[in-house]
Structure 1
């Protein structure tokens, strides 16, 4: 992790943790994993915007609308992740240059085929779901039910969306 993700906590953040009953040391791994998830979600969001703009073909009307819904939801999730990092005493990264250095999801350009867009999105969901499950485990170890609950909600919706996309691809 870079310096951004391992910044020391301010006394205000330490106070927040004491009020919510968590310890800085026990949440450190969770914060680092949330930083990774934030980077990947930011790239995922940008990819969804590009897919929305560039989709072509017979599936245009369906996918154009669905992709807009998905990138709006991704933007909300990005905000929730960043705010959770702050709640746990971290400082969320906010530079795309830093995201690109650590993200497991890579930038995707010039994809116009609906099928390719769905497959790329499914690949991204696979990465996000794996990370979210890992964060739930880390949060559980730290007795951080708040983070577990947030990530469980993300996971539930992504599993459902994955099922729907797989069904959409069936011929």
Structure 2
């Protein structure tokens, strides 16, 4: 007999979803630290513009870190919470010593690609599991980030 969680989802489904969400959480933590570093270390002509944009990004990423961790808890699992685990699990790699704005934006775009691919996979799994809460969260993230990809890509196209 199949067991269900307190929110009525199949335990096997939530096990798989929690694993995927923990992977996403690890990637967001590294993304957050990367963007935080860009914010601190940006130099040059576009300092004021990028400094503010990077602050918006890392503030948003920090909110997502909390939402993802809380969703994992809602699914009756434990979020990973050590940087050792984050570094080991994350497909997004640490970006250090970046002070060039264009390079930082390129890294952000590459990081968004990783996040969006992972979010789409989680959305698919959540939809198949009838997990509306996770589906809704991923759908919101994807929509928001696709627009950011367009905007940051447009920034890079500007000469």
CA distance in 2, matches of 1:48, 1:114: 11
2:44: which partner in 1? Answer: 57
SS of the residue corresponding to residue 99 of structure 1 reads helix
Equivalent pairs, count: 156
CA distance in 1, matches of 2:21, 2:68: 7
Show structure 1 runs of 5+ residues with no match. Answer: 1-13
Per-residue deviation, residues 105-156 of structure 1 (Å, max 9, x unmatched) = 0011111111000000000000000000000011011110110000110111
Deviation at 1:29, TM superposition (A): 1.2
Deviation at 1:25, TM superposition (A): 1.0
1:33: which partner in 2? Answer: 20
Deviation >3 Å, runs of 4+: none
Show structure 2 runs of 5+ residues with no match. Answer: none
Per-residue deviation, residues 17-50 of structure 1 (Å, max 9, x unmatched) = 33x2212112221111001000000000000100
SS of the residue corresponding to residue 75 of structure 1 reads helix
CA distance in 2, matches of 1:94, 1:57: 35
1:42: which partner in 2? Answer: 29
How high is the TM-score relative to the length of structure 2? 0.95
Tell me the C-alpha RMSD between the 2 structures: 1.2
